[in-house]
Copies of this chain bind each other. A is one copy, B any other.
Amino acid sequence: MLDAAVRVFSRHGYHGASMDEVAERAGISKPMVYAYLGTKEELFIACLHREATRMMEAIAGAAVPDLPADERLWHGLRAFFGFVGAHRDGWAVLYRQARAERAFADELAGMRARIVEVVVGMLDHALRAEGREVAETELEVVAYALVGATESLGDWLADHPEADPEKTATRMMNVAWLGAGQLLHGVTWHPPER
């Protein structure tokens, strides 16, 4: 039943979707939707949760501990783009919707926070392995940029059905790892003195 809801929300957006359509698509009647999932908002949150959980599981499932940082990142990215590629219709739009609606921002922020945390951990681990150390906030912004870039490419992938998830992951890896890798080695860019 959530499948129907995800589909409808994806096609018409949160506001554009009508509960009647969700019910019709699910093959049941409207009061049943309310009986099982509650109000429209609760329904949307349920969708969001399920998709988020699925995605996190897909990524976690691809994680192999005790691998060098770059390979762990690679596995994570590949899992992520693979997931988006397989759920093009659902994920990207749910995600965009959730960002637009103030009410769901928290939900999404929590989800992103978990991912950022993982990436920060990864970077931190790699740094320690090199015997270097960087302030937490610095790492967090870098992680945020990487996650943001990844999300954007996820959007791009969702809009380009012909694109290959694996290839997209490789491209992301190029931008992300080369940049982050440089940073990890202590190379930094600084504004030119005027």
Contacts and interface: CB of A to CB of B under 8 A. Distances in A.
Interface residues of A, number: 49
Interface string A155-194: 1100000000000101111111111111100011111100
Q: How many copies of this chain does the complex contain?
A: 2
A145 interface: yes
Contact of A170 (B14, B177, B180, B191): B191
Interface of A is mostly: helix
A54 to B, nearest CB: 21
Interface in A1-42: 12-16
B145 A152 contact: yes
A100 interface: yes
A80 interface: no
A72 to B, nearest CB: 11
Contacts of A12: 102
